[in-house]
A and B are shown apart, each in its own frame.
Chain A
Amino acid sequence: MILRILNRIEEAAICLLLVATTTLVFIDVVMRFGFNTGFLWSQELTLLMSAWFVLLGASYGLKVGAHIGMDAFVKLFPEVGRRILTGLGCVLGIIYCGLILKGSWLYLKKVKMIGIGMEDLPGLPTWIAHGMLIVGFVFLTIRLLVILWAVATGRTDGFKHADEAKESMAIVEELKKGEDKI
């Protein structure tokens, strides 16, 4: 139950960031063409929100299988081989996250020590704005650990990859349903 609520919050946060970014740029365009004015802070805020959107979403994408990858080679192996290779992939992924986390930590610590603020968003220290690096990559590490555990216990044998062809079939389904009604 708690997991489901957390899941909803994650999805809502991601959607909200996308909607907010789009709306902000749209309002900016309307302001510029309609009233010949604009907000000084809007561009920096949109860029910041889009970065948060991706950092927060990267781990979510891993969970729902939104990332793309190649599975042609892995499929050549029997199940044990696939599990070993995927496990190796997870470990390498965790190393990647670890490196980025270490780098982010050092970088953020320095920025906080110097006390740099954002350019057009006064009052927002850079280390908080860029702190999403840590949050996003900690989430990503956790998700990779979850997959690693699932591989170790034999519940899965590969990364879930996005399949644009399969997703497009949703439109076909929709059209078929419509025909039945008529």
Chain B
Amino acid sequence: MTTACLFILLFGCMLIGMPIALALGLSSIATILMFSNDSIASIALKLFQSLAGHYTLLAIPFFILSSAFLSTGGVAKRIIRFALSIVGHIHGGIAMASVMACMIFAAVSGSSPATVAAIGSIAIVGMVKAGYPESIAAGVIANAGTLGILIPPSIVMLVYSAATEVSAARMFMAGFIPGIMMGLMLMIVIYFVARIKKIPCQPWAGMKEVLASGISATGGLMLIVIVLGSIYGGIASPTEAAAVSAVYAFGVAIWGYRDIGPLKNEPWRKDGESIVGMLVRNAIKCTTALPKCVIDKDVNKVLLDASKVSIMLLFIIANAMLFAHVLTTERIPHHLTEMIVEMGLSPWMFLIVVNLLLLAAGNFMEPSAILLIMAPILFPIALQLGIDPVHLGVIMVVNMEIGMLTPPVGLNLFVISGVTGHGIGWAIKSALPWLCVLLVFLVLITYIPQISLFLPEFIDKMHGY
């Protein structure tokens, strides 16, 4: 009865288009007031505590801020140039380079649609020029772009750890090998497609170009090194790493790359300028740029955009914690687990059900919303069946990736159709063959837990646990 009330209210509110945060909050509070003895004052306290009681959650706004500074076209261009210089000369090299660029940009931005937009608008044109059919180019980018939520640091993984209290650092370790593996799988398929279609490859650009483009891409690459290095090394918590990366991203965007902010269009070295003159000019400009940031239009816009996304996510999470509270006090996952154990469902059958459920949900809702609603229900069941929580998290994230490529709420499809100017139908058709790679990958991830668990366990061993 309680369960029915909770879910009918929740889905009813969501169907009529209420913001998901309000829908979660209202259905949970109504259920608490109707069926339990909790006082309404304690609910208010609970809500405030879920906003102010979780230090790990702070990583979310910080990572969003750092990605907002570096999710610019300029950074995408530098990363693509670097990727091209490394794998451009292999068969299907340009497409492989696009996948690699997607992987790097995904790590920097932590968002899938942003990756598709930034890499796609440069790489698709480039691939078509090099002789690839446009549908292949678009399909590759749409799929590789989904890596944004799998390769750490990833916002969706932080949301999963918020919903289940699984360590965010461990999730970040678990996503690394699967992310690389999926990129490699795409690249191998590309290699054979390029061989069969006889697409010409580029000449090897030389070590000099690798170094030059590598240095120009360092600003973005270092962010990954700093964040993953400090988390994997056990030096800093994800929250601290995120704060450092936000400050670092600000510095790189404003002083280093100068794509946005007060130093925009201010070159590092003007033609015919002496070294001393250059150093002095840059030193003065960099110092005066800092106070100028307060009123700078670009910087303000980045801050406001990051605020909007962070607030949206954190407000949903706070309300989802009320929802999870109702689930726990009403022992809903507990009853479900009993049912499943009685049915004699083995772990692998349960995982099939999880996959089907998530794939279906992924068609209608945003990844973070699905995770916040489903994770508190599935997590206790999985635990009972002996499935590792970190493994479950990776499975859920990979499912969310596929959800980004299936209509009607396939974010990446919309971006692809926006970038190429073709309709949604065309975008679906072009992404479909590559989606099969993703589905094979999902099966691998689901049934070989070692792919996700190897790195976190290895690092644990290194630290001597």
Contacts and interface: CB of A to CB of B under 8 A. Distances in A.
A46 B58 contact: yes
Give the size range of A's interface with the partner: 35 or more
Interface in A128-161: 130, 133, 158-159, 161
B17 A168 contact: no
Contact of A174 (B42, B72, B246): B72
A70 B365 contact: yes
User: Which has the most chain A C-beta neighbours within 10 Å: B51, B111, B113, B365?
Assistant: B51
Contacts of A50: 51-52, 57-58, 61, 314
Q: Is the interface of B mostly helix, strand, loop or mixed?
A: helix
Contacts of A164: 111, 113-114, 366, 411
Interface string B406-443: 00110110110011000000000000000000000000
B289 interface: no
- Interface residues of A, dominant DSSP: helix
Contact of B418 (A26, A85, A172): A172
Contacts of A22: 61-62, 65, 243, 246-247
B21 interface: yes
A46 B52 CA distance: 9
B253 to A, nearest CB: 13
A70 B29 contact: no
Nearest to B51: A51
Contacts of A11: 304
A4 interface: no
A60 B16 CA distance: 21
Given A47-B52, A100-B29, A168-B415, A25 B117 contact: no
Interface stretch (B33-41, B276-284, B386-394): B33-41
Contacts of B116: 168
Contacts of B412: 165
A26 B243 contact: yes
Nearest to B9: A92
Contacts of A46: 55, 58
Interface string A162-182: 101111111110111010000
14 contacts: A46-B55, A55-B51, A66-B309, A68-B366, A70-B15, A93-B26, A103-B43, A106-B44, A162-B308, A165-B415, A169-B419, A171-B72, A172-B118, A172-B418
Closest 10 CB pairs of A and B: A103-B44, A57-B311, A67-B19, A165-B414, A51-B52, A168-B117, A25-B243, A66-B308, A175-B73, A51-B51
Interface of A: 11, 14-15, 18-19, 21-23, 25-26, 28-29, 43, 46-48, 50-51, 53-55, 57-58, 60-62, 64, 66-74, 85-86, 88-89, 92-93, 95-96, 99-100, 102-104, 106-107, 110, 130, 133, 158-159, 161-162, 164-172, 174-176, 178
Interface of B: 13-23, 25-26, 29, 33, 39-45, 47-48, 51-55, 57-58, 61-62, 65, 71-74, 76-77, 111, 113-114, 116-118, 120-122, 236, 239-240, 243-244, 246-247, 300, 303-312, 314-316, 318, 364-366, 368-369, 408-409, 411-412, 414-415, 418-419
